[in-house]
C-alpha cells in the first residue's frame, strides 16, 4: 500500500528532525544524562515536528542502547515501541477525547506498571481542545504522576491551555521551519523518490507551506501524482489555482498605471478559470515584496513610485484576514484595488452635484492626456448638514506676507494672537453649498503632484503641535487624511461626522494656519471618511457611463449677523423671557 510522503519521511531519530536544533539538543541531553521531566509541553504552528519529536522522545527514554540520546531502533524496546499495538506509548487525540470521562479513565489506568517498556508515555495531541473539567481531572495526575509515567502535551494554541497546566510542564516553543531548510529537505525527498522538479517550484512550495514540513511534503506528493514528467511552474500554478509570473506582471502594470477596466477584466478572467482569488492576492503580495527587495538591495528599476508599492503591500497585508473571511472575496478585492488605484491616479474627475453641467459626449482626450490619467475618484451629491461655523479674518496670500528675507521673523511670530484674531461676523448660511463647490472643483482639477506636495508639507506642522495658540488647529490638520488636491483646494476627511462639524467651525482658522506655516494659498474642504468611500464607489458608475463634469463657481459666503449677548445692550425680557417682571 502506498504511503504518503509526509508519513514515509517522518523523522525516526532526533538527528532527522529539521529546523528545531535547540529543542533537539535539550531533549537529547536529558536522555543522555537521565534527567528528563515527567511532563512536557510542545507548542507551535502545524507541521513543525511536535508529534514527531514526541514519538522519538517516547522511544528514546525506553531504548536499552541509546546512541547520543537517539533511539537505536534495534533493541526489543525500540521495536516494541514502533509497533501500533504498543500499550505503553499512548497517543490521545484531545479533539475527539476531550471529556472528563476520558481523562478519568486515563487517570485510573496510569497507576498500572508498563507492560513491556520502562516508561509509560502519554502523548496528548491538541491538548487545548480539552474541556475545563478534563483539565481539572488531569491537573493532580500531571503534578504528581507515578515514576513510570511521562506526559507530553502538544498544541497549536497554548493560550487556551490553563496556566495551572502550563506551570507543571517543561515547555518548548517550536518555530516555523525556514524556507531554505524546507527546500533542502524537499530536494532530498525528490532524490530519494526520483521526482524531477524545477528549482523554482521547490521555492514556491516552501513559501506556500509557511514553515510547515508536513504541508510542503503533502504538496510535493500531490504534484508527483499529477505528472510523471518534470514538474514545472505551470503545473504548480495550475494545480493550486494560482497565476503565472507573466500574469502577475500584467496585474502589477495594470494596477500601478491605474487601468481600472484591465484590472477588473483580469480578476474576472482569473475567477472564471477557477483560480483561487485569495491565493492570487497572497501570490501578488510576494511578487510586490520581491520587487521591493530587488529595488533596495540590487537597485532594481521599476517604472512606478516605490512608495506606492510599499503602501499596497501594507494594505493587502492588513486586509488579508478580512479577504479570507469575506462572503465574496472577489468583490472585496476588486473594491480594495479600485480604492487604491483611485487614490493613486494622476487625474481625478468629479461626480454630478447640483449646478454641474454633464457632458456625456465629451471626448476623454479633452481631459486626459495619457492612459495613466483615465481614472478618477468621485464627488457625491449627497447632502450634508454642516453646522454654522465661525468666520475668521481672511489671510493675505502667503506670497504677500512671507518672503525669504523675513521668514525667521514670521516663524517667531506665527503663533502670536495678532496673526489669528477671531471675529464673529455671524452664521454662514450657505456653508453646505460652499463645501460642495470646493469638493467638486478639487476633484475636477485634481493633480497627484499637488496632493503629494501638500502631504510633504505636513512635516513643517509637527513643530507647532504644542503651541498654546495654534497647536489645536495644527493637530486637527495632522489628524486628517489628505484625499484630493489641486492648485488652490485641498480635500481632507475625518473618521467621525462630529469631528467634521467641529472643524467646519474652525475652517478659516485652519486654512490660515496651514497657509502661513507652509507658504501656501489653499482653501480646505472637509468631509467624513464614510462619505469619501461612498463618493468613490458612486463615481466609478458614472465613469463607466462616460460622464465628465465641469468646474462650477463657488458661491459667496452669506452671513446672518450673530445676536449680541451683552447684558447692557439687550433688554431684560430678551435675555430672561417671561420670568422677568418689569415695574413701571
Task: Report pLDDT for 583.
Answer: 55
> What is the spatial distance between Cα 363 and Cα 377, in angstroms, rounded to a whole number?
18
Q: Answer whether residue 56 is part of any domain.
A: yes
CB proximity list for 274: less than 8 A, separation 6 or greater? 241
Residue 254 and residue 341: Cα distance in Å, rounded? 10
Residue 569 lies in a domain: no
| pLDDT confidence bin for 539, thresholds 50/70/90 | low
* Residue 575 is assigned to a structural domain of this protein: no
Instruction: Report the share of the chain in percent with pLDDT over 90.
Output: 8
Query: What does DSSP assign to residue 356?
Result: P
Same domain, 122 and 209: no
Residues 452 and 509 in one domain: yes
With CA atoms as reference, report the closest residue to 254 among 215, 284, 283, 209.
Answer: 284
Question: Can you tell me the mean pLDDT for 514-536?
Answer: 85
CA angle 528, 533, 537 (to 5 degrees): 145
> What single DSSP character describes residue 412?
H
Q: Rounded mean pLDDT of 59-66? A: 88
Angle at 119 between CA 131 and CA 23, to 5 degrees: 70
| Highest mean pLDDT out of 198-207, 336-345, 528-537, 571-580 | 198-207
CB-hemisphere CA count at 13 Å for 17? 26
- Domain presence at residue 193: yes
Longest dimension (CA), the chain: 121
* pLDDT class of 492 with cuts at 50, 70, 90: very high
Same-domain status, 131 and 224? no
Asked if the model's pLDDT at residue 518 lies above 70, the reply is yes
Closest by CA to 233, choosing from 278, 199, 267, is 199
Same domain membership, residue 17 and residue 91: yes
- Asked if 77 and 190 sit in the same domain, the reply is no
Task: Answer whether residue 571 is part of any domain.
Answer: no
- What pLDDT band is residue 411 in, cutting at 50, 70 and 90? very low
Q: What is the full DSSP assignment across 41-60?
A: EEEESTTSSHHHHHHHHHHH
List the grid coordinates of 393: 479674518
Residue 273 structural domain: 248-344
Same domain? 398 vs 546: yes
Q: Both 397 and 323 in a single domain?
A: no
Domain total for the chain? 4
Query: Same domain for 168 and 78?
Result: yes
pLDDT at 6 over 80: yes
* Least confident piece of the model among 354-358, 440-444, 544-548: 354-358
Which residue, of 210, 239, 268, is where some domain finishes? 239
Q: What are phi and psi of 358, to 5 degrees?
A: -95, 125
Domain presence at residue 358:
no
* pLDDT (mean) for 162-180: 90
- Quote the pLDDT of residue 450: 86
Most confident of 227-231, 296-300, 378-382, 521-525: 521-525
pLDDT of residue 154: 92
Q: Identify the residue with better confidence: 578 or 138.
A: 138
Poorest-pLDDT segment among 53-62, 135-144, 194-203, 253-262: 135-144
pLDDT score of 406: 41
Q: What is the CATH number of the domain that holds 322?
A: 1.20.272
Rounded mean pLDDT of 103-128?
86
Query: Residue 194 sits in a domain of what CATH number?
Result: 1.10.8.60
Q: Is the pLDDT of residue 388 over 60?
A: no
Per-residue pLDDT band for 42 (boundaries 50, 70, 90) equals: very high
Same domain, 146 and 225: no
Q: From CA 505, how far away is CA 273, in angstroms rounded?
A: 54
- Whether residue 289 is found in the same domain as residue 307: yes
**pLDDT one-digit tens code per residue, 291-335:** 888 888 877 777 788 888 888 988 898 888 888 888 888 898 998
Residues 199 and 162 in one domain: no
Task: Determine the Cα–Cα distance for residues 149 and 126; give it in Å rounded to an integer.
Answer: 20
Q: What mean pLDDT comes out for the span 249-256?
A: 90
Rounded Cα distance, 257 and 183, in Å: 36
Do the beta carbons of residue 493 and residue 479 sit within 8 Å? no
DSSP per residue over 518-570, as a string? HT---EEEEEEHHHHHHHHHHHHHHHHTT--B---PPPPP-EEPPPP--TTTS
Mean pLDDT of 417-421: 42
Positive or negative: CA dihedral 188, 194, 195, 196: positive
- Same domain, residue pair 377 and 514: yes
CATH code where residue 100 lies: 3.40.50.300
CA distance 71 to 14: 8
The answer to the question of residue 71 being in a domain is yes
580 lies in a domain? no
Q: For position 375, what pLDDT does the model report? A: 42
Residues shown for the chain = 584
> pLDDT at residue 113 above 70?
yes
Q: What is the DSSP string of 69-128?
A: TB--S-SHHHHHHTSTT-SSEEEEETTTS-SHHHHHHHHHHTTSPPSSSS-EEEEEETGG
Output Rg (C-alpha) for the chain, integer angstroms: 35
pLDDT higher than 80, residue 378: no
Summarize the confidence of residues 201-222 as an average pLDDT: 88
Considering 215, 239, 263, which residue would you say is the last residue of a domain? Answer: 239
Chosen domain end from 174, 204, 228:
174
Give the pLDDT confidence score for residue 549 in this predicted structure: 66
460 phi and psi angles, rounded to 5 deg: -65, -35
Global confidence as pTM: 0.55
Confidence tier at 186 by pLDDT (50, 70, 90): very high
pLDDT surpasses 60 at 384: no
Q: Looking at residues 180-203, what average pLDDT do you find?
A: 90
Please, what is the average pLDDT of the chain? Answer: 77
Q: In this predicted model, which residue has the larger pLDDT, 358 or 200?
A: 200
* Strands lying side by side in the sheet with 39-44: 89-93, 120-125, 149-155, 39-44, 170-174
- Asked whether residue 2 carries a pLDDT value surpassing 60, the answer given is yes
Q: What is the pLDDT of residue 394?
A: 35
> What is the arithmetic mean of pLDDT over 442-457?
84
* Whether residue 87 has pLDDT greater than 80: yes
Amino acid at each position: 500500500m502506498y504511503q504518503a510522503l509526509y508519513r514515509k519521511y517522518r523523522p525516526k531519530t532526533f538527528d532527522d528532525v529539521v529546523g528545531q536544533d535547540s529543542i533537539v539538543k535539550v531533549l537529547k541531553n536529558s536522555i543522555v544524562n537521565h534527567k528528563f521531566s515527567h511532563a512536557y509541553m510542545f507548542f507551535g504552528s502545524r507541521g513543525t515536528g511536535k508529534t514527531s519529536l514526541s514519538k522519538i522522545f517516547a522511544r528514546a527514554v525506553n531504548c536499552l542502547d541509546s546512541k547520543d540520546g537517539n533511539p537505536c531502533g534495534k533493541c526489543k524496546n525500540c521495536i516494541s515501541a514502533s509497533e501500533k499495538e504498543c500499550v505503553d506509548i499512548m497517543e490521545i487525540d484531545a479533539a475527539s477525547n476531550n471529556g472528563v470521562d476520558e481523562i478519568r479513565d486515563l487517570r485510573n489506568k496510569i497507576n498500572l506498571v508498563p507492560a513491556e517498556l520502562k516508561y509509560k508515555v502519554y502523548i496528548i495531541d491538541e491538548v487545548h481542545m480539552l474541556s475545563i473539567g478534563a483539565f481539572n481531572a488531569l491537573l493532580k495526575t500531571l503534578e504528581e504522576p507515578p515514576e513510570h509515567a511521562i506526559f507530553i502535551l502538544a498544541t497549536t494554541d497554548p493560550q487556551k491551555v490553563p496556566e495551572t497546566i502550563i506551570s507543571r510542564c517543561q515547555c518548548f516553543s517550536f518555530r516555523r521551519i525556514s524556507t531554505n531548510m524546507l527546500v533542502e529537505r524537499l530536494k532530498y525527498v525528490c532524490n530519494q523518490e526520483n521526482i524531477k522538479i524545477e528549482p523554482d517550484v521547490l521555492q514556491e512550495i516552501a513559501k506556500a507551506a509557511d514553515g510547515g514540513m508536513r504541508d510542503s511534503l503533502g504538496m510535493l506528493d500531490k504534484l508527483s501524482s499529477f505528472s510523471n514528467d518534470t514538474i514545472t511552474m505551470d503545473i504548480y500554478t495550475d494545480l493550486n489555482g494560482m497565476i503565472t509570473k507573466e500574469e502577475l506582471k500584467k496585474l502589477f502594470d495594470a494596477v500601478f498605471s491605474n487601468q481600472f477596466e484591465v484590472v477588473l477584466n483580469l480578476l474576472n478572467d482569473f475567477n472564471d478559470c477557477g483560480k483561487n482569488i485569495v491565493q492570487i492576492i497572497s501570490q501578488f503580495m510576494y511578487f510586490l515584496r520581491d520587487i521591493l527587495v530587488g529595488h533596495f538591495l540590487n537597485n532594481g528599476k521599476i517604472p512606478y513610485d516605490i512608495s506606492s508599492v510599499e503602501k499596497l503591500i501594507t494594505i493587502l497585508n492588513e486586509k488579508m484576514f478580512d479577504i479570507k473571511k469575506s462572503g465574496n472575496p472577489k468583490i472585496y478585492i476588486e473594491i480594495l484595488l479600485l480604492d487604491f488605484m483611485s487614490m493613486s491616479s494622476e487625474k481625478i474627475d468629479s461626480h454630478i452635484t447640483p449646478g454641474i453641467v454633464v457632458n456625456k459626449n465629451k471626448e476623454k482626450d479633452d481631459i486626459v492626456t495619457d492612459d495613466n490619467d483615465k481614472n478618477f475618484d468621485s464627488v457625491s451629491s449627497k447632502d450634508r448638514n454642516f453646522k454654522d461655523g465661525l468666520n475668521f479674518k481672511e489671510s493675505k496670500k502667503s506670497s504677500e506676507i512671507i518672503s525669504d528675507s523675513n521668514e525667521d521673523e514670521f516663524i517667531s511670530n506665527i503663533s502670536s494672537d495678532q496673526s489669528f484674531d477671531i471675529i464673529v461676523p455671524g452664521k454662514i448660511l450657505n456653508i453646505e453649498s460652499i463645501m460642495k463647490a470646493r469638493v467638486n472643483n478639487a476633484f475636477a482639477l485634481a493633480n497627484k503632484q499637488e496632493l503629494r506636495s501638500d502631504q510633504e508639507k505636513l512635516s513643517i506642522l509637527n513643530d507647532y503641535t504644542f503651541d498654546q495658540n495654534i497647536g489645536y488647529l495644527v493637530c486637527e490638520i495632522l489628524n486628517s487624511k489628505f484625499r484630493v488636491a489641486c492648485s488652490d483646494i485641498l480635500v481632507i476627511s475625518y473618521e467621525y461626522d462630529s469631528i467634521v462639524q467641529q472643524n467646519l467651525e474652525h475652517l478659516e482658522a485652519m486654512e490660515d494656519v496651514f497657509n502661513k506655516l507652509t507658504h501656501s494659498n489653499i482653501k480646505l474642504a472637509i468631509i467624513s471618511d464614510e462619505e469619501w468611500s461612498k463618493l468613490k464607489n458612486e463615481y466609478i458608475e458614472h465613469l463607466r457611463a462616460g460622464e465628465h463634469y465641469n468646474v462650477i463657481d463657488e458661491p459667496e459666503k452669506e452671513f446672518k449677523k450673530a445676536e449680541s449677548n451683552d447684558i447692557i445692550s439687550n433688554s431684560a425680557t430678551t435675555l430672561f423671557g417671561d420670568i422677568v417682571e418689569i415695574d413701571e
